[in-house]
Amino acid sequence: MTPDLTTDTITIPGSYMTNLVKVVSELGGDANEVLQRAKVKREDIMDPHSQISFQQFRTLLLEGAKSCQQPALGLYLGSTLTITSHGILGYAVMSSANVRAALELAMEYFQLRTPLSQLSLSEQTHEAKLTLESSYPQGDIKILYIDTLMSALVNLIQFLTQHQHAIIEIQLDFKAPDYQKLYAQLLGCKVTFEAENNVIIFSTDDLDTPLPLADESANKLAVSQCESMLRQQLETQDLITAVKKIISRQLGDSLDFSRLASQLNRSKRTLRRHLLEQGSSYQKLVDEVRFEMAKQYLLATHISIHELSYLLGFSDPSNFGRAFKKWSGISPKAYRNNSANS
């Protein structure tokens, strides 16, 4: 069963689908039929500002892979995405001073390009790790989706480092698919499967690599446009939806009401009042987001209940169990088992 993410009004930039259409055609598929099945018009995806629903995105990936008989479609699609494919965020990234600044911008505004996941960067003595973390379960398009993003991120890092340094390793959190040999061919590095997270590992020395197109004035302008787009994205949503989206991205970290209020350009007092006026509260919305995401993960993934509890921001699995039973009347295990048997 695939979770219905349309209830969270999730949309994906339609412009990426021009690449999908081209790749499907090049691999021998019928791009027009794929678009028709997804109920997407070709002229719509040509608009750089267009958005498609999650269900349309899901259908395009699944039907695209089916049409060209290529389960590795995501790898091919991601490899076609250049830095300019990412709109104004791409220009902000390429005009940054160095690789570190570029990746920090990519992480901060990643939701402008895909709300389904987020990026984080960690550094050790000799290795930097760029981790792709899911904000929502992707269900039956998980591998296609991750293949696309990891391939595109490899392109991005290679562009930023001017292809001077090889990526050390890529780690993926799923079992090796039948086409596993293609990963090394298309990504050009060691790939490890069944890892804990989806990670790209490269040298920390690369982080200080200056960018050839660095331009402080152009960067400030592009960042300003990214910030404006992010603010507009939040303002065009109703308050409850906007708050839920931000909560869903912060669940794995420590939830911070002050940070939430700041992101919505409101004081804590004003935000509390506005939520109360709509018959809600911060804690009520946190519970609703946790419950919806818990149901989605229990139905669409094999993640353990222990891991899920921490993913949703609970400090103890027993607290998650009690909360879920309060919300649904049954335990998480019983909910998963009942759904599997229905």
Please give the average per-residue pLDDT across 292-319, as a whole number.
89
Token pair 């506005």 in the structure block, residue? 274
Pick the residue with more confidence: 291 or 7? 291
Sequence-ordered list of residues with C-beta below 8 angstroms from that of 102, at least 6 positions apart, any chain: 93, 94, 96, 160, 211
Look up residue 170 and give its amino acid. I
Q: Which residues pair with 41 in a beta bridge?
A: none
Q: How confident is the model at residue 2 (pLDDT cuts 50, 70, 90)?
A: very low
pLDDT at residue 184 tops 50: yes
Q: How confident is the model at residue 216 (pLDDT cuts 50, 70, 90)?
A: very high
Each residue's pLDDT tens digit, 38-89:
999 998 898 888 889 888 999 999 999 999 999 999 999 999 999 999 999 9
314: nearest Cα among 287, 336, 340: 287
Please give the average per-residue pLDDT across 190-202, as a whole number.
96
Contact 73, 30 (CB under 8 A): no
Distance of CA 115 to the CA centre of its chain: 5
Pick the residue with more confidence: 31 or 243? 31
Please give the average per-residue pLDDT across 236-259, as a whole number.
80
Q: How confident is the model at residue 164 (pLDDT cuts 50, 70, 90)?
A: low
Contact 249, 107 (CB under 8 A): no
Mean pLDDT of the chain: 90
pLDDT at residue 1 tops 70: no
302, with CB counted inside 10 A (0-12, 13-18, 19+), is exposed
What pLDDT is attached to residue 236? 64
H helix or E strand, kind and range, residue 55: helix 54-67
pLDDT at residue 8 tops 90: no
Q: CA 79 to CA 187: how far, in whole Å?
A: 8
Percentage of residues in the chain having pLDDT higher than 90:
65
pLDDT at residue 90 tops 60: yes
Q: What CATH architecture is 237-341?
A: Orthogonal Bundle (1.10)
Q: How confident is the model at residue 296 (pLDDT cuts 50, 70, 90)?
A: confident
Q: CA 146 to CA 148: how far, in whole Å?
A: 5
DSSP H helices, 179-215, are 181-187
- Which of these ranges, 204-208, 282-286, 299-303, has the smallest mean pLDDT? 299-303
What pTM, to 2 d.p., does this model score?
A: 0.75
Locate the domains of the chain by residue range: 1-70, 74-236, 237-341
H helix or E strand, kind and range, residue 288: helix 282-300
User: Which of 27-36, 157-166, 292-301 has the highest average model confidence (pLDDT)?
Assistant: 27-36
Please give the average per-residue pLDDT across 293-312, as a whole number.
89
Pick the residue with more confidence: 258 or 143? 143
